[in-house]
Amino acid sequence: MEYRTLGKTGLRVSALGFGASSLGGVFRDIDESEAIRAVHISLDLGINFIDVSPFYGLTKAETVLGKALRGLKRDSYILATKLGRYGSTLADFDFSAARALKSIDESLARMGVDYVDLIQAHDIEFGDVNQVVTETMPAMRKLIAAGKARFAGVTGLPLKCLASAALQSDADTILSYCHYELNDTALLGILPQLAARNTGIISASPLGMGLLSVRGAPAWHPAPDLLKAACAKAAAHCSAHGASIEKLAVQFSVAQPQIATTLVGSASPTNMQRNIQWINEPLDRTLLAQVMEILKPVHDVTWPSGRPENN
């Protein structure tokens, strides 16, 4: 496993990180004991960064993760969680200082730990970004002063909004998703200004939330039909050549050295073992070129998220 420095935090994180949304049964019903084994095998094989949120499974992911972490040495993993998002409607977002201070205590109790290494404002495009900068981030800094977290960051989909909030608040990290993958490398566009602040970069969803898979995008996926069709064509091309688009997608995303860690998540020990094996195998450059050509007409095509003014 390769380890990279997460910006100004100085944390050395695994190039592949564990995205614990899967533990909340977000994508399928899970077997809890199997999910716990997925966490353990990931740690055993070198992953040391785990990212979760109270939103995932409406607290279930943090609860299951807490069971997986029980008995493990606290310094054997780097733990990140979030605050601000607690459901799927606009009414479920609360970036107030009071809620931030309460949220961290709830998360720590669910996971059975005394502190998290990274606390993040979750999906900030659904809130008032000015509030995130002037109220949420100062509240998270108070959590750091209180010893409940070590560093603070922001997460979201729209890159302009994400970069603006990170720079204004001098965030330690950003977490971007669906913007560094085979069909979308727009994240690269904001990296120079973040690098100037030594902001740590976390990327998630190298499969585009299912776009880059044989199974294809789920019915709820917000991507436009043109993008879904192109990704399905790319997946079929890989299959026709006896290859896996999932493997190619994970390898491509993790190979970007400017990204400290790329999050993948599965409640299946077998799947996590496979993901880790993939990044240690050579990237098929010929297949990559072919897939990129198929996806060229939809390169960097995305979708809106959150409040209109944040897109």
Q: Which tens digit of pLDDT belongs to each residue from 62-105?
A: 999 999 999 999 999 999 999 999 999 999 999 999 999 999 99
The average confidence (pLDDT) of the chain is 97
Q: At 179, list the tokens.
A: 């913007």
Range of the domain at 196: 3-210+245-283
How many Å apart are CA 39 and CA 77, to the nearest integer?
11
Report whether pLDDT(48) > 80. Answer: yes
Helices (H), 207-296: 225-240, 245-254, 269-278, 285-295
Please say whether the beta carbons of 161 and 125 come within 8 A: yes
Judge whether 291 lies within some domain. no
Report whether pLDDT(168) > 80. Answer: yes
Q: 89-109: buried (b, 16+ CB within 10 Å) or exposed (e) per residue?
A: eeeebbbbbebbbebbeebbe
Q: At 37, list the tokens.
A: 């084994």
Q: What is the pLDDT of residues 18-43, one digit of tens each?
A: 999 999 986 778 999 999 999 999 99
- Provide the 10 A C-beta neighbour count for residue 218: 11
Residue 148 pLDDT class (50, 70, 90 cuts) = very high
For position 41, what pLDDT does the model report? Answer: 98
Judge whether 226 lies within some domain. no
Report whether pLDDT(3) > 90. Answer: yes
Nearest to 135 by CA among 96, 101, 104: 96
What pTM value is reported for the model?
Answer: 0.97
Question: What total number of domains does the chain contain?
Answer: 1
How many Å apart are CA 300 and CA 293, to the nearest integer?
13
Judge whether 199 lies within some domain. yes
For position 29, what pLDDT does the model report? Answer: 82
For position 63, what pLDDT does the model report? Answer: 98
Judge whether 232 lies within some domain. no
Q: What is the pLDDT of residues 192-210, one digit of tens each?
A: 999 999 999 999 999 999 9
- What residues are labeled active site? 56
Report whether pLDDT(245) > 80. Answer: yes
Report whether pLDDT(262) > 80. Answer: yes
Secondary structure (H, E, C), 147-159: CCEEEEEEEECCH
Q: What is the pLDDT of residues 121-137, one digit of tens each?
A: 999 999 999 999 999 99
Angle made by CA atoms 202, 263, 93, in degrees to the nearest 5: 70
Please say whether the beta carbons of 177 and 184 come within 8 A: no
| CATH number of residue 26's parent domain | 3.20.20.100
For residue 225, how many C-alpha atoms fall within 13 Å in the half-sphere facing its CB? 0
